């Protein structure tokens, strides 16, 4: 096989213009215009409106490339386009090759007869997506979420590029993934499908190979399997014959296999499978895969509450802990492997074992799944359909069939891929939402998600679980948000202004969406505002808030819990604390009921631009309070409290493969440190279990409202001499608690590649937040509570800092605040 990369330098222009500018491929229209100074930063203030206007134009990309005589002699020469976004006319040497309409597909076009030896020219015309959807929607209106450009369901383009309730309307376009000429002589791989069967201490790999062949000479397929240490497990080969199309299956037995596990349950060893097509000693084609040996599916069995729903790995039902992943940037050219790896690493640091790829964006790159394999995140993979109605005409059915096959074949070998899901929220929409509905469109839904997609997954990835929608109880519009079956999206906390304690009324089997908004950090806000914009109800701040009256909702919850903040920066801080507490209430409750509930995937992990949203990591990757809370409420061993009035239950949840035993220490204290009562309780918890170990009643001590406002409970769980989990409980709303000036003191020192900050407080301090004024870093703990007389150590590794600071610089930049400083 001969490859001619077409990535790199191209020329581009607006179709009606005469002036060309330099363009970079892979890339996008917006990124090229920005680089050339032809558009303003769409993330700054309200520039998003001008950027949207630029999407109404067509754009032309051109470049020349060289073709050798060797390529011209090949049997098959294709133009391989791994990402054309979206309405693209492809022209080679003046000949129209294709008109594409689906950014999610991989296209291959036979161009052998259009090429010539020497210089060749390729041209790609990108037609306006906004003009297209407007025209189609005028002809046939299709419902979609109101925050997006009307008509977006007509185009197989990442839906959220048209806008969402956390994203701007920035439908960029471009040659956004690799493009190349691929030439083959003799034969090439048509398909390679790896399956595995586990029996006792043995795994059998079935490697199915299909080829396309143009020669009468004998072709040989060669298979090499290497273990995670790089040692060869097997080399085998088989004659393919000389037929036009042929297939062969290799069977490989691996004894004493090294199993792949999600983060927290074991290691992530990866085997290498390499296949080659040989003609004598000449290699015609080759492919290589990294796989993990494991069983992975969804366990659904009747039980006393209804029907369970649990991700099961190697026979072990795990409690799924994670968040929903959305596109990383509105401008796809800004993606990078380094940026994605940092995001995945941040998930692991916060004790995730699962991540849901939400169905309103794009299918992630190969590198995304490589990283999930490497770090142990089980991927809940939606197909890219969400919050919209689709018309199953012949053309639409054809393009989504190819889209599904392309992506299933591309992704299916990954160890991390846990399940395929048909769509986001559309079964729920058909069942319960006030959206336009007709019998034909309802039938189209069934055809698309319960027949076509299900059949394609069964055909091309039969070992993978398929789920028709999220949320769902199994399909057929049968109570898709049922508490006792399937997965649930729960939004009463936030959208309906229910209190955080509302989560405790429900014991969902698997909660795959629930969330609460906050603002990003002041450093992030400063990137898109001017000083006069820094009010949450300003025009610019509301342009960076896409969820309607959401800023008012934050203010409502603020009024319920905290005193009014003294300034803008304090308002941002307060919003993040509210968000973190809200999600903590849900997660800790469901973890306490492990077995009945088996998953909490909060909305959402990341942002695609600087915005107020439900994310725990903002656009620049800065950790909000929620991500620090997640590190604690997703800890493998968790001590959590369930309080009601003056009564408190203390539970230990063990999400590890080994039993744990230790001691619970608790103290009922005044804000100034005086201890009213204290005790120690022994606690032993079996692997993958949760238990109640203390029921405390403080009605005698907390008879007066004044006493409740001055008293709190602190609790911690210790294994040997190591504190593994801790927390506090207030007996009144935080806004009414009698906080006194904490007088926090701190010092910092350097030690072996990290800075260590030691903090103390004179009175009870809640939500102590540490931040650097200019640089960014990740503290090993943050937004924690601190009792008087306790020394708290917080560490910052140098490799988790955006820049290396001297100790003096670090001290000068460090700021420490607590809830007391809010007002």
Distance CA 93, CA 96 (A): 8
Alpha helices in 468-567 (DSSP H): 492-495, 522-528, 539-543, 550-561
Phi, psi of 587 (to 5 degrees): -60, -50
Q: Tell me the CA distances in angstroms from 601 to 488, 515, 567, 605, one per residue in order.
A: 10, 9, 33, 9
Q: Which CATH number fits domain 739-823: 2.60.120.620, 3.10.129.10, 3.10.310.10, 2.60.40.10?
A: 2.60.40.10
Statement: 635-737 belongs to CATH 3.40.190.10: no
Same fold for the pair 2-183 and 186-291 = no
Q: Where are the domains of the chain?
A: 2-183, 186-291, 317-630, 635-737, 739-823
Those residues with Cβ within 8 angstroms of residue 488's Cβ, 6 or more apart along the chain or in another chain = 471, 481, 482, 506, 508, 509, 510, 511, 512, 513
Residue 740 reports pLDDT greater than 80: yes
Residue 241 reports pLDDT greater than 90: no
* pLDDT tens digits along 116-160: 999 999 999 999 999 999 999 999 999 999 999 999 999 999 999
Nearest Cα neighbor of 81 from 98, 67, 95 is: 98
Residue 27 reports pLDDT greater than 70: yes
Are 287 and 354 in contact by the 8 Å Cβ rule? The answer is no
* pLDDT tens digits along 49-60: 999 999 999 999
DSSP state of 293: B
Those residues with Cβ within 8 angstroms of residue 612's Cβ, 6 or more apart along the chain or in another chain = 517, 518, 519, 520, 541, 544, 545, 547, 550, 551, 554, 575
Find the range with the poorest average confidence among 235-239, 638-642, 808-812.
Answer: 235-239
DSSP state of 224: E
Distance CA 226, CA 724 (A): 39
Q: Which CATH number fits domain 317-630: 3.40.50.620, 3.40.50.1820, 3.20.20.80, 3.40.630.30?
A: 3.20.20.80
Instruction: Tally Cβ neighbours within 10 Å of residue 94.
Output: 8
pLDDT value for 136: 97
Distance CA 739, CA 785 (A): 12
Distance CA 74, CA 185 (A): 5
Residue 240 reports pLDDT greater than 80: no
Please, how many CA atoms are within 13 Å of residue 587, restricted to the half-sphere of its CB?
32
Statement: 2-183 belongs to CATH 3.40.50.1370: no
Distance CA 245, CA 250 (A): 17
Report helix, strand or coil for 244. coil
* pLDDT tens digits along 79-121: 999 999 999 999 999 999 999 999 999 999 999 999 999 999 9
DSSP state of 147: T
pLDDT value for 245: 66
Residue 238 reports pLDDT greater than 90: no
Strand partners, 343: none
Q: Cis ω on the peptide bond leading into residue 26 (within 30° of 0)?
A: yes
Strand partners, 199: 202
Residue 38 reports pLDDT greater than 90: yes
pLDDT value for 406: 98
Distance CA 616, CA 633 (A): 13
Distance CA 201, CA 206 (A): 17
Q: What's the topology of domain 186-291?
A: Immunoglobulin-like (2.60.40)
* pLDDT tens digits along 488-512: 999 999 999 999 999 999 999 999 9
* pLDDT (average), residues 273-284: 95
> The tokens of 328 are what?
């990383």
Distance CA 3, CA 78 (A): 10
Instruction: Please give the model's pTM, rounded to 2 decimal places.
Output: 0.97
Distance CA 589, CA 508 (A): 10
pLDDT value for 242: 61
Handedness of CA 384, 58, 107, 20 (dihedral sign): negative
* pLDDT (average), residues 289-316: 98
Please, which pLDDT band fits residue 764 given cuts at 50, 70 and 90?
Answer: very high
* pLDDT tens digits along 536-594: 999 999 999 999 999 999 999 999 999 999 999 999 999 999 999 999 999 999 999 99
Please, which pLDDT band fits residue 721 given cuts at 50, 70 and 90?
Answer: very high
> The tokens of 404 are what?
């599904």
pLDDT value for 123: 98
């Amino acid at each position: 096989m001969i490859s001619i990369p077409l990535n790199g330098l191209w020329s581009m222009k607006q179709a009606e213009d005469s002036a060309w500018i330099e363009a970079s491929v892979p890339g996008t229209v917006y990124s090229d215009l920005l680089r050339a100074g032809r558009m303003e930063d769409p993330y700054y203030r309200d520039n998003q409106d001008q950027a949207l206007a630029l999407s109404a134009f067509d754009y032309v990309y051109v470049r020349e490339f060289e073709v050798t005589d060797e390529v011209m002699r090949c049997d098959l020469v294709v133009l391989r386009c791994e990402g054309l976004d979206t309405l693209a006319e492809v022209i080679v040497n003046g000949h129209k090759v294709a008109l594409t309409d689906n950014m999610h597909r991989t296209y291959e076009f036979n161009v052998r007869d259009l090429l010539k030896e020497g210089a060749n020219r390729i041209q790609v015309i990108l037609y306006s997506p906004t003009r297209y959807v407007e025209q189609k929607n005028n002809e046939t209106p299709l419902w979609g979420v109101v925050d997006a450009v009307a008509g977006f369901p007509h185009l197989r383009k990442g839906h959220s590029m048209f806008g969402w309730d956390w994203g701007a309307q920035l439908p960029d376009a471009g040659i956004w993934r690799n493009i190349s000429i691929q030439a083959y002589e003799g034969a090439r791989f048509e398909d390679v499908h790896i399956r595995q069967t586990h029996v006792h201490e043995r795994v059998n790999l079935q490697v199915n190979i299909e080829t396309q062949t143009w020669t009468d000479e004998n072709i040989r397929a060669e298979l090499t399997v290497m273990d995670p240490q790089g040692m060869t497990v097997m080399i085998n080969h088989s004659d393919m014959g000389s037929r036009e199309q042929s297939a062969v299956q290799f069977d490989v037995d691996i004894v004493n296999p090294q199993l792949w596990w999600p983060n927290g349950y074991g290691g992530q060893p990866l085997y290498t499978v390499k296949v080659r097509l040989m003609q004598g000693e000449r290699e015609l084609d080759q492919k290589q895969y990294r796989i993990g040996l494991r069983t992975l599916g969804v366990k659904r069995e009747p039980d006393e509450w209804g029907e369970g729903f649990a991700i099961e790995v190697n026979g072990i039902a795990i409690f799924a802990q994670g968040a929903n992943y959305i596109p990383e940037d509105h401008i796809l050219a800004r993606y990078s492997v380094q940026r994605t790896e940092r995001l995945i690493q941040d998930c692991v640091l916060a004790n995730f074992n699962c991540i849901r790829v939400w169905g309103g964006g794009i299918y992630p790159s190969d590198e995304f799944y490589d990283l999930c394999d490497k770090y142990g995140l089980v991927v809940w993979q939606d197909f890219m359909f969400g919050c919209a109605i689709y018309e199953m005409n012949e053309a639409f059915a054809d393009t989504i069939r190819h889209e599904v096959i392309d992506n299933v074949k591309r992704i299916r070998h990954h160890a991390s891929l846990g399940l395929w899901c048909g769509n986001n929220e559309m079964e729920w929409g058909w069942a319960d939402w006030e959206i336009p509905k007709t019998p034909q469109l309802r039938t189209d839904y069934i055809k698309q998600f319960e027949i076509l997609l299900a059949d394609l997954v069964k055909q091309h990835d039969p070992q993978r679980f398929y789920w028709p929608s999220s949320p769902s109880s199994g399909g057929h519009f049968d109570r898709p948000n049922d508490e006792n079956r399937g997965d649930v999206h729960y939004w009463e906390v936030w959208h309906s202004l229910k209190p955080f304690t509302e989560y405790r009324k429900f014991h969902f089997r698997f909660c795959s969406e629930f969330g609460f908004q906050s603002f990003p950090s002041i450093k992030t806000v400063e990137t898109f505002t001017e000083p006069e914009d820094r009010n949450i109800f300003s025009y610019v701040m509301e342009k960076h808030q896409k969820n309607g009256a959401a800023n008012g909702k934050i203010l409502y919850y603020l009024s319920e819990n905290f005193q009014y903040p003294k300034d803008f920066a304090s308002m941002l801080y307060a919003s993040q604390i509210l968000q973190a507490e809200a999600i903590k209430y849900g997660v800790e409750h469901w973890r306490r009921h492990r077995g009945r509930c088996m998953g909490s995937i909060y909305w959402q992990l990341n942002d695609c631009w600087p915005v107020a949203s439900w994310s725990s990591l903002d656009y620049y990757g800065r950790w909000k309070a929620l991500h620090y809370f997640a590190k604690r409420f997703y800890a493998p061993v968790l001590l959590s409290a369930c309080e009601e009035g003056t009564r408190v239950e203390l539970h230990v949840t063990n999400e590890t493969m080994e039993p744990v035993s230790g001691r619970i220490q608790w103290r009922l204290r005044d804000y100034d440190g005086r201890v009213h009562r204290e005790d120690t309780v022994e606690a032993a918890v079996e692997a993958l279990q949760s238990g109640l170990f203390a029921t405390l009643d403080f009605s005698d001590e907390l008879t007066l409202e004044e006493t409740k406002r001055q008293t709190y409970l602190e609790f911690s769980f210790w294994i040997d001499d190591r504190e593994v989990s801790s927390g506090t409980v207030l007996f009144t709303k935080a806004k009414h608690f009698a906080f006194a000036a904490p007088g926090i003191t701190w010092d910092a020192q350097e030690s072996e590649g990290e800075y260590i900050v030691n903090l103390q407080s004179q009175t009870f301090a809640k939500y102590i937040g540490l931040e650097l004024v200019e640089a960014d870093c990740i503290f090993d703990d943050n937004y924690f509570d601190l009792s008087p007389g306790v020394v708290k150590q917080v560490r910052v590794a140098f490799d988790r800092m955006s820049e290396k600071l001297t100790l003096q610089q670090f001290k000068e930049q460090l700021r420490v605040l607590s809830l007391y400083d809010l007002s």
